[in-house]
Structure formats: C-alpha cells, structure tokens
C-alpha cells in the first residue's frame, strides 16, 4: 500500500534550503498525494521533482520511499503537462546511500530475500518505464540501491565530489537482481561490471563520466541551474519522439532480464556472510566474510 500524505507545505521547502529553481507549483491539480515525510514531490511548470528526504541518513531508502517513488511515477505518467521528472537527494550530501539496512535485520527465510529483490525490481522497473525523460541529480554518494535508481534514470548529472557504485562485496555480502546486473552490463560491459562489483569501490565522478555512468560533471553552484536548463530544453521537444525512443531502448535491453536469478539471490541473502554484513554494519565494524 503506497504511503500517502497531503500536499507539500512551504516549511518543508524551507527545510531543504535549496535553490529557488526547485520551486513548487501551487496549482490545485497538483494535489496528487504522492509524497510522505521521507519523499517529497514538487511541480514547477512542465518539470516534476522527486526529493529523497532523509538527509540525516544520507537519504537511505525505506519502503515508504520506494512506495512514494512508484506513486510519483504514476502521477507523472498520468499528467500530459509534465514533460520531465528530476530525482535528487535532500541536504546536498548524498543522492541515496542505498536501502536502509535496518530493514534487513528481520530477514529469516528465502522468501524474505526473494520478496525484497522482486519488490525492488518492481519499483526500479516502474521508474524505468516512466514515459517521460528522467534525470538524476547527484551530489555526494549514489550507493547500492541509490546507484541503481540513478542508473535507471535516462540522464545523470553530478558534482565533482560525487561517487557512484555498488560496494556490496565489501559491506553486506548480498547480490543484485539479474535485472540490475543487466542494467550495469548494458552500460559498461561485463568486464567493467565485474570490476565495479569485485573491487567494491565507489567510483569517482571523473571515473564514472569516463565509464559512461554519468553524462556530465557540473560545479555544485551551477548544478541546479544546469539541470533546469537541460530539463526545460527537453520539455520543448516532441513528447512522442522521446517516449518512443525510451521504450524502444527499454525493449532492446529487457531480453537480458528473462534469466532466472532467484537461486543466486537465495544463496547470497541466506548466507552467514550476509548476516555478518548486516550485523557488522549495525555494530559499526568491518565485516569478516568466510564464504559461508
């Protein structure tokens, strides 16, 4: 059930301390109830903005935030006057630093693991299938699920000190779904995907740009204005051309994801290593993995 609240109020905007370029529309028809305290939805003309709003936790994703993201996608697709959707993190310190790891502490069975990955695949798949162009605005780390969300967007712009990656081999000892491995392989190829996962490092903005993970690096004081310029430009272009292009590319890529990877998910999530990774994170120590 999607978490919902009323429309955004001005004190929430003030709390974000962001540039006025991230302005909110006051049109009555924008009351779509797509947001909650942890995920905000704003509208300014033809541009919609989704804000991951847990800056105290580096915007780590909760299920309420995942549900809110799906709701935002539905709203954007239902409104023909919205032409572009922007996604960014609140606070300027992180895009999204993965899924809130405390949610993994309750995992006990294979069904828990499969339900999590299948549900995440549904959310990411919905973001990927939004008919309007999507832009990720990255300040700071986009890690784990945050990297997946960013890489699912059509375009990515970041600050020079931003980082992106999936360091699960160093942190939790779990794995990605087949669909998310496929997205990485489509972007950077099998060898680079293995390097990113095996070395478990967050890739710098410059390296990410060279790999093709990032479209452009922009100084932090110009990021909002630059992304808004790009979004406004795209919003003037033929919507059906953009929609057809997005869907054509999605269809070309989706065939990789027909492979069943549930056995791999269960192997990783039901391991002693995964339990050690979660426990070590909660205890704020380095995990000791034993391959069991």
- Give tens-digit pLDDT for 34-83: 668 999 999 999 999 999 999 999 999 999 999 999 999 999 999 999 99
Residues 49/21, Cβ–Cβ less than 8 Å: no
Question: Partners of 157 in the beta sheet?
Answer: 137, 216
More confidently predicted of 268 and 1: 268
Q: What's the pTM value of the predicted model, to 2 decimals?
A: 0.87
CB contact set of 210 (below 8 Å; sequence gap of 6+) = none
CB contact set of 228 (below 8 Å; sequence gap of 6+) = 21, 47
Q: How confident is the model at residue 5 (pLDDT cuts 50, 70, 90)?
A: very low
Residue 129 DSSP one-character state: T
pLDDT at 152: 97
Residues 42/6, Cβ–Cβ less than 8 Å: no
Distance CA 42, CA 34 (A): 10
- pLDDT surpassing 80 at residue 11: no
Hey, is 273 helix, strand or coil? helix
User: How confident is the model over 136-142, as a mean pLDDT?
Assistant: 97
Backbone phi and psi for residue 96, each to the nearest 5 degrees, phi listed first: -150, 125
CA angle 60, 122, 170 (to 5 degrees): 45
Percent of the chain scored above 90 by pLDDT? Answer: 80
Q: Read off the pLDDT of residues 213-256 as tens digits, 9 standing for 90 and up.
A: 999 999 999 999 999 999 999 999 999 999 999 999 999 998 87
Q: Is 184 exposed, middle or buried (0-12, 13-18, 19+ CB in 10 A)?
A: buried
CB contact set of 10 (below 8 Å; sequence gap of 6+) = 24
To 10 degrees, what angle do helices 145-152 and 110-128 make? 30
User: How confident is the model over 256-265, as a mean pLDDT?
Assistant: 88
Average model confidence (pLDDT) for the chain?
89
Q: What is the CATH number of domain 10-221+239-282?
A: 3.90.226.10
Residue 60 DSSP one-character state: P
Q: Is 5 exposed, middle or buried (0-12, 13-18, 19+ CB in 10 A)?
A: middle
- pLDDT surpassing 60 at residue 284: yes
Q: Read off the pLDDT of residues 162-197 as tens digits, 9 standing for 90 and up.
A: 999 999 999 999 999 999 999 999 999 999 999 999
Distance CA 161, CA 47 (A): 26
- pLDDT surpassing 70 at residue 272: yes
pLDDT at 105: 83
User: How confident is the model over 144-167, as a mean pLDDT?
Assistant: 97
pLDDT at 31: 39
């Amino acid at each position: 059930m999607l978490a919902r609240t009323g429309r955004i109020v001005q004190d929430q905007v003030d709390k974000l301390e962001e540039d006025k370029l991230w302005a909110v529309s006051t049109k009555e028809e924008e009351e779509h109830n797509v947001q909650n305290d942890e995920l905000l939805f704003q509208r300014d003309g033809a541009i919609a903005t989704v804000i991951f709003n847990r800056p105290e936790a580096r915007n780590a994703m909760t299920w309420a935030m995942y549900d809110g993201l799906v709701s935002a996608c539905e709203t954007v697709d239902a409104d023909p006057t919205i032409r572009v959707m922007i996604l960014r993190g609140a606070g300027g310190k992180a895009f999204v630093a993965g899924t809130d790891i405390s949610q993994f502490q309750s995992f006990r069975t294979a069904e828990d693991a499969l339900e999590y990955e299948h549900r995440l695949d549904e959310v990411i798949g919905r973001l990927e299938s939004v008919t309007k162009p999507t832009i990720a605005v990255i300040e700071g780390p986009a890690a784990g699920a945050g990297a997946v969300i960013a890489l699912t967007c059509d375009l990515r712009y970041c600050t020079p000190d931003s980082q992106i990656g999936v360091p699960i081999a160093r942190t939790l000892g779990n794995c990605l779904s087949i669909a998310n491995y496929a997205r990485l392989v489509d972007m950077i190829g099998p060898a680079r995907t293995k390097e990113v996962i095996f070395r478990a490092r967050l890739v710098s903005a410059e390296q990410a740009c060279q790999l093709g993970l990032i479209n452009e690096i922009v100084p932090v004081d110009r990021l909002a204005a630059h992304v808004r310029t790009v979004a406004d430009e795209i919003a003037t272009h033929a919507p059906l051309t953009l929609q057809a292009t997005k869907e054509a590319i999605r269809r070309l890529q989706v065939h990789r994801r027909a492979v069943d990877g549930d056995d791999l998910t269960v192997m990783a999530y039901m391991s002693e290593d995964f339990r050690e990774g979660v426990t070590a994170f909660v205890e704020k120590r380095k995990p000791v993995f034993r391959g069991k």
